[in-house]
Amino acid sequence: MNTDARGFYLDTNEDSWHWVAQGIEEYPNTEYWADYKDFARPVIKAVIDSGLHHHFRAGFSVSHIIVSTADRRLELCEPRQPHVTLRFEKEKQVAWSHANLHFHKAERFQPVNAENVFPILKSFLADLWCDTRPNEQVPAALAPDTCQ
């Protein structure tokens, strides 16, 4: 695995999803984190099973799973790159932003639950792909969500 000027960084998108999955398992088994794990595990599995982990990079920060198309750490991108965040706080939601949601408001978001989180996440990822990779074909796993 490679590191950059700011420390730890994974070589591949696929590695990043496995790293997030492993990191979530290391959270304590309190009621809050057990609920978080129960919500996050199926989402991560669905992303990997669908093959989207080949096209998007993942990271996590406390109760956020951050997804991007960037080829490096988001904080090193200038200008700031949009990304999608799966938030597990007072309310579970998928959010779109250019900034860290611990300190800034989402530009848009949609509340989610266990039944609708993956389709909504896919919709946000399709928009992210179209915004950041407009000249590349949308990954088949996102079809029929296509660039407008």
pLDDT of residue 2: 43
Nearest C-alpha neighbor of 66 from the set 44, 49, 50 = 44
pLDDT of residue 73: 56
pLDDT of residue 21: 94
Rounded Cα distance between 38 and 30, Å, is 12
Global pTM reads 0.87
pLDDT of residue 7: 41
| Amino acid at the residue 71 | D
Residues of the chain predicted below pLDDT 50 = 1-8, 77
The residues facing 66 across adjacent strands are 59, 85
pLDDT of residue 89: 82
Write the pLDDT tens digit of every residue in 20-61. Answer: 999 999 999 999 999 999 999 999 999 999 999 999 999 888
- The 8-class DSSP code of residue 133 comes to -
| Amino acid at the residue 54 | H
Rounded Cα distance between 29 and 147, Å, is 41
Is there a contact between 73 and 6 (Cβ–Cβ < 8 Å)? yes
